[in-house]
Amino acid sequence: MTDFATRGKIALATHDARALRATAGAQAAFLAPGLAQFYVVPWALRTVRDGDVETTLVECRYFDAQWHRVDGPPLRGDYGFCRLTQCATTWLGESPPEALDLTLMSAVARTTKPAKALSALGSLGNSFIASGAPRATSLIVPVLPDTTRGMVLVFRSPAAGDKVTALIATEEPQISRGKF
């Protein structure tokens, strides 16, 4: 009876180990599409009035890895992760009409088209902190297959130093209009 019980425990442990390996492999394969690079250039500041409230927004220009202009980083499940890197000018040397003393500080993302397996893998997270030198910071946002995420970028002013005088965000993406 002891031999049978031991073989049963070994079989159960082997089964559990195989199940864990299969789950880990499925999760790795699920996120395997890779990393898509996008560049963001803060282009201009815009003031929006809503009744008595004025809000300043930063308008940005977005580019893919080959520096083709895109409406915004397509945060869709075609990629596993999207990296956004701030640049002061475009690859072609285009510069904003006015130099902005801003650096990418963080982003807030929202999943608008949830994946079926999202609950099985847990939360993707909604807040991301940028790192790197001022005016050249980057952040990475995970995106699962069959999901769409909208994102608001937050910039700090001035770009460098200990003192922050303002936080300025991009406009909330209009995913329903097909912009993302």
State residue 26's pLDDT score: 34
Q: What pTM, to 2 d.p., does this model score?
A: 0.72
pLDDT (0 to 100) of residue 175: 52
Q: Comparing C-alpha atoms, which of 76, 69, 84, 78 is closest to residue 130?
A: 84
Q: What is the DSSP letter of 72?
A: S
Residues in the chain, pLDDT under 50: 1-32, 120, 176-180
Q: What's residue 44's pLDDT?
A: 94
Copy the structure tokens of residue 136.
Answer: 């050249």
* pLDDT in the model for residue 154: 96
pLDDT at 113: 67
Q: Give the position of tokens 């929202």.
A: 110
Q: For residue 12, what pLDDT is reported?
A: 41
